[in-house]
Amino acid sequence: MKKHIKLIVLISCIAAVMLFGLTGWFTYEANDKITFIGKEESQDGRTAVTFQMRGTVRKSLLTIASGDAEQGRTKGRALVERDGEWIKTEDFTVNNQGEPLQEGNWEVRFYPAGVEIILHDLSQEPAAGMASESGEDDASRNTEAEEQHIVVLYDEENLFAGYSEEEVAFWITDRYDNQVSYLQKEGDKYYFQADDFTFSATNDFQMTDDYEESYFAYLAQQFSYGHNRVTEFEKREDEEGEAVYVPVVGFNGRQPGELEAFSNACCDLVEELQEITEFEEIGYFSEERRRYLDITPYLDNYDRTKLYNAVYRGIEQDSLEEWRYEEDERDGSAEETSPDASSAGIIIEEMPEEWREYEAECSYQRKDGTQLRMVGVDRAAGSSFYVLLEAVDGINTSVVNADPYLGHGGLAKWIVFLEDERIGFSCLAYSGGSLGRFFRTEDGGRSFQEITYPSAKIELPDGSLYNPFIMPDRVWEEEGKLYMMAGQGPDGDYYEDGVWVYGLYESEDMGRSWSYVGTAEGEDYRW
């Protein structure tokens, strides 16, 4: 019996020792085992950073699927060496979702006063074994998630107090391979000259500079000067966290000729700058909105006409939608804020005595015998500015609208009203009479809105699109629809079968919006 007891005790002791040993081994493997992963060295060879993994990680489906951040964390250690001596050890953890520490986890930047270590989490793509578009294997399909920054000063007894002017000048010029020259210090900024532009550096630990931003600002400025169009580069980050710059070009609104000018500017942008800096989108802005056009399908086997037409169609559709949205917003705002939306924002003034005898540029005869007259009362830079007056027996008697053309100057071409004499239309020619603005009222002329209509998208001989119908000519009602004829202006040269034609448009909402129908013959008023 005693022998059995002794045997049991012995076995228990052996089991306890083995359990203790296994526990210690697992603890060591999980937390204390040190594995060399990689090393980074400075160009001068004085500084090195060694990366080690602490413990062991085991990849499992449970680890990946659980969503528990702690389960996927990998322990690491960075050891900073300066002139052969260890000066700092930094422990860290990164979320690799069960994967070991690897070179993609870090980036090291060396500076005169110390070293910066940037640590990245690596997150696996959603489905293991699924082929990526680039054909990369599972081990390399990682995307950047989070960053940690560790700064180690070479002299840890002192806080960073800044660099000398000589150090800043030397390190910045060295950073750009002596392709830049130092200019001067102004305040806390140090200025440098590149080929055609200047940039600045800050006296912080990283010696932060704005070379890249200044360079793209310069490119945008040069393009703006050459095309008389506001241009800028918008800074973004790509999927790998790298800075990319997207050109954004000013769009001057839906006025005649702007679609063509903008589309040509975008083509020039690609031809002039794509070799300098690659970009896959062109942005445009109008007032407070920004939109972007994908140009990647047109970069391979580049064809200017194809890109031009793609930009033309895109900006035509987007700007028309934007205009309609803004009109809806204005209509809704007027209905909410005014008990009488038809007269919202209209200023009625007492008519100056000298206006009584002014001649009308164009007029409309009402059913009651009175007239609505577009009368020019001011001139500037060759353009007239108009008021809409009511006239009785040929004498101007009162102001209906002190600014019917919403601040625009030009030459009033015509004004017409429908049967109800509330909904009406008018055209203002401008730019020497070659272009026309189209206006609509639904309250008898007390307020007007500028109206736009779609491009006819006529093809030029080279295949590029344009809209020759830039001068609204007349509006009429027929079988419950409104129709509008738009001419080509005095410089028009578009013919069909040898006949000079107009663009025909129709509206099913009483002239708020229009659609292109086709061409129609009309009087050639150029002769």
Q: Is residue 378 assigned to a domain?
A: no
Does residue 82 come out as left (phi exceeding 0), alpha (psi in the -120 to 50 range) or beta?
A: beta
| 172 and 201 both lie in a single domain | yes
| 145 and 224 both lie in a single domain | no
Instruction: Tell me the Cα Rg of the chain.
Output: 37
* Rounded-to-integer distance, Cα 209 and Cα 161, Å: 18
Tens of pLDDT along 473-489?
A: 999 999 889 999 999 98
Kindly indicate the confidence band of residue 71, based on its pLDDT and cuts at 50, 70 and 90.
low
Q: Is residue 86 assigned to a domain?
A: yes
Q: Is residue 310 assigned to a domain?
A: yes
* Rounded-to-integer distance, Cα 323 and Cα 75, Å: 56
Interior angle at CA 41, CA 39 and CA 47, nearest 5: 115
- Count of Cβ atoms closer than 10 Å to residue 483 Cβ: 18
| 180 and 245 both lie in a single domain | no
| 33 and 115 both lie in a single domain | yes
| 90 and 170 both lie in a single domain | no
Q: What is the mean pLDDT of the chain?
A: 84
* Rounded-to-integer distance, Cα 160 and Cα 182, Å: 23
Q: Is residue 353 assigned to a domain?
A: no
Q: To the nearest whole percent, how much of the chain has pLDDT over 90?
A: 63
Kindly indicate the confidence band of residue 203, based on its pLDDT and cuts at 50, 70 and 90.
very high
What is the DSSP track for 410-458? BEEEEEEE-TTSSSEEEEEEETTTTEEEEEEESSTTSS-EEE------E
Q: Is residue 262 assigned to a domain?
A: yes
| 221 and 310 both lie in a single domain | yes
Q: Is residue 131 assigned to a domain?
A: no
Q: Say what the pLDDT of residue 58 is.
A: 56
Q: Which residue type occupies 436?
A: G
Q: Is the pLDDT of residue 57 over 80?
A: no
Question: Which residues constitute the domain of residue 236?
Answer: 213-333
Evaluate whether 510 touches 321 at the Cβ level (below 8 Å): no
Tens of pLDDT along 301-332?
A: 999 999 999 999 999 998 888 888 777 666 65
Q: Is the pLDDT of residue 243 over 60?
A: yes
Between residues 437 and 33, which one has the greater pLDDT?
Answer: 437
| 77 and 102 both lie in a single domain | yes
Q: Is 333 helix (H, G, I), strand (E, B) or coil?
A: helix
What's the pTM value of the predicted model, to 2 decimals?
0.75
Q: Is residue 441 assigned to a domain?
A: no
**For helices 211-227 and 258-273, what crossing angle results, to 10°?**
140
Q: Is residue 404 assigned to a domain?
A: no
Highest mean pLDDT among 203-207, 380-384, 519-523: 203-207
Mean pLDDT confidence for 274-296: 86
